[in-house]
Chain A
Amino acid sequence: MIPTETISPGHPRTDPTSGPPIITAEDLRVAFGRYVALDGVTLKFGPGAHGLLGPNGAGKSTLVKVLLGLVRPDSGSGDVLGHSIHGRQTDLRHRVGYMPERDAHVPGMLVIDYVSMMGRLSGLAKRPAEARAHEVLTYVGLSGERYRTVDSLSAGNRQRAKLATALVHDPDLLLLDEPTNGMDPVGRREMLRLIVELRRVGISMLVSTHLLPDVQEVCDGVAIMAKGRVLRTGSVASLTANIDRNWKLQIVGDLGPFLAALGARGVKVAHDETQGSLTAQLPEHAEPRLFIEAAASAGVGLKEMRLGTRTLEEAFFEVIGEAPHAHS
């Protein structure tokens, strides 16, 4: 069970379908030889942060590349920020920041030169590009590593360098492909905090990942993909709505009297040995105080009392239909 640690509680969640569409796609189809990467993808994303969720090989990266014009679709159409993906890509790429999945960097080039070069390629002059590069690198937390070569950085720092290059020309839309791939939890949490911060400043983004906590923490809307098809779209909240009010409890002390006290109060309880936690069903219009009273009366300590929201992983597995090998 992937813990849903909350990184930044209470950031504003906009409704994903409000406002003019940033990204639209109609029946996009891409096949590499026999392998069908995109099998008729149709979706519409408004401003704000949207997640593309799916196992490896679900076609997420291919979709991001098609939107950026890096891959020409066999059929179907779409547009990003008003520019059609079949048209001239240069103005499209001028307003979009792309963070590729693989380590796409020039080996041996210093981080500061690499980022400032990317700025100059997007139209900034030499001096302003360098100034902007320093600013963006400080923002992503690489001020210490500015004068090291890109390939000598750790996996986490390489991801930050990629984010810096995506931000140097101040895009309106960020396409992030597996932004926290290969990062340890501490680094991952900081990267997600950066992304949430960017969202708050008003940059829309499309985050393609298979790490569910990333999407849950950062995105408003999410599209779950598998085998080149979009299986479900909707806001994150709708997907993880907790239909039944089950609570996760953990106690210290002997279990018997506590279970009896809960039973007396009409609470249905399921005991899960491996994790050593209880799942209790709160009766209609009852208060969580019920659990505390039961614990006090049974004389046991209450270590954990949490509303067990259905995590995205459960939604994800449900949508994928528990196929053992969802990908080809």
Chain B
Amino acid sequence: MPILEQVYRRLDHHEPASSWRAVWAIGDQCGAMALKGWFPKGWLAVSQIPGLVVAVIIYVMTRNESTVLEVVNGMARTGYQSFNDVPGETWYRVASNLVYAMITIVQGWFATVGTAIYGARQVADDLRTSAFEVYVARPIWSRDYVIGKLIAVVKPLLFILIVPTGFCLLAANLFVPASAGPCLKLYPILIAAGIAYATLNAIVILGISSLGKSSRYATITWFVLYFLTMAVSVILTQSTGDSVWEIVSYRANLQVILASFLRLNPFENLDLEFPSPDHSLASSALIIGCLAALSLFLVLRRVRSGRLP
């Protein structure tokens, strides 16, 4: 095949290196790479199913007013008789309970496994196949690489967390028109909570992924971190009867932060399965913050050792 069909053309002007473009480039391409193959795509699709199922349940439940009132009174411990005397504040609180339950009980598991599927490979593969040398030879900073990889992992996780939950919220608001007004401000909060939840997971999995060359160990280490800390905290809480041991569980801390986003006060207005009162937001934020900081430090150290400035 003739090689020199046309002479090599030089660019007329050279764009300056821009971090923002680099971040989006890595985010796009590595995001697409994470979704390559039937297993990652399949997992994303399966994670949408609960959204539909819960929406149908909500539809069936809201056909007669009494069942809805029953649920509302149950949650808010009040005795309203009809829709119009339920104050906006209660609708908001019931809706945020729905969102909280949806994420912690259903979508949280999909996101946990999804974090391993989409995140474990990100840095480990680059190190194993020395693809890292390609990034290093480009005019980008180490923060661009890290933020780009974070975006690549957060995108599918957001899709898992926010889309089904948002869909159910929308269904609830449509089927119970009275609740639509007060819940409007819940949507941006849901998105913010989803972003926080996904980003924390992404930061931790990137830290773990930069520990070694094999994404296999990153996957196992992530599951060990998630399930073993949960099991340990349950055992210690039951044995010692003192719920301070809740903070050992990565999952519990993540849920406390989620609850704070949804401004659900853990003490009085909820009887959902929730960490007991003396497990405060501050301690959870501290622990998750330290874990995230450690993970970021690990990734940056690994990236800097590869000579990104």
Contact = CB atoms under 8 A, between A and B. Distances in A.
Contact of A139 (B8, B24, B26, B309): B8
A106 B148 CA distance: 15
A113 to B, nearest CB: 6
Contacts of A117: 25-26, 28-29
Contacts of A135: 9
A80 interface: no
Contacts, number: 135
B22 A120 contact: yes
A123 B6 CA distance: 25
B33 interface: yes
Interface string A189-222: 0100110011001100000000000000000000
Given A121-B26, A194-B3, A94 B8 contact: no
B174 to A, nearest CB: 37
B133 to A, nearest CB: 4
B10 A93 contact: no
A32 to B, nearest CB: 13
Interface stretch (B68-76, B136-144, B262-270): B136-144
Contacts of A103: 129-130
A85 to B, nearest CB: 11
A319 interface: no
Contacts of B41: none
A193 B4 contact: yes
A141 B139 CA distance: 26
A297 to B, nearest CB: 47
Contact of A90 (B1, B125, B130, B139): B139
A287 to B, nearest CB: 38
A89 B32 CA distance: 29
B131 interface: yes
B130 A104 contact: yes
A73 to B, nearest CB: 12
Given A108-B33, A141-B1, A167-B8, A70 B140 contact: no
Interface stretch (B11-19, B57-65, B85-93, B289-297): B11-19
Contacts of B32: 113
Contacts of A124: 15, 21
B135 interface: yes
Nearest to A98: B137
8 contacts: A70-B136, A103-B130, A105-B129, A123-B21, A123-B139, A165-B134, A201-B10, A202-B10
Given A91-B139, A106-B134, A117-B29, 6 more contacts: A106-B125, A107-B129, A114-B29, A118-B138, A120-B21, A121-B26
Interface of A: 68-72, 88-96, 98, 100, 102-109, 113-114, 117-118, 120-126, 129, 132, 135, 138-141, 144, 165, 167, 169-170, 190, 193-194, 197-198, 201-202
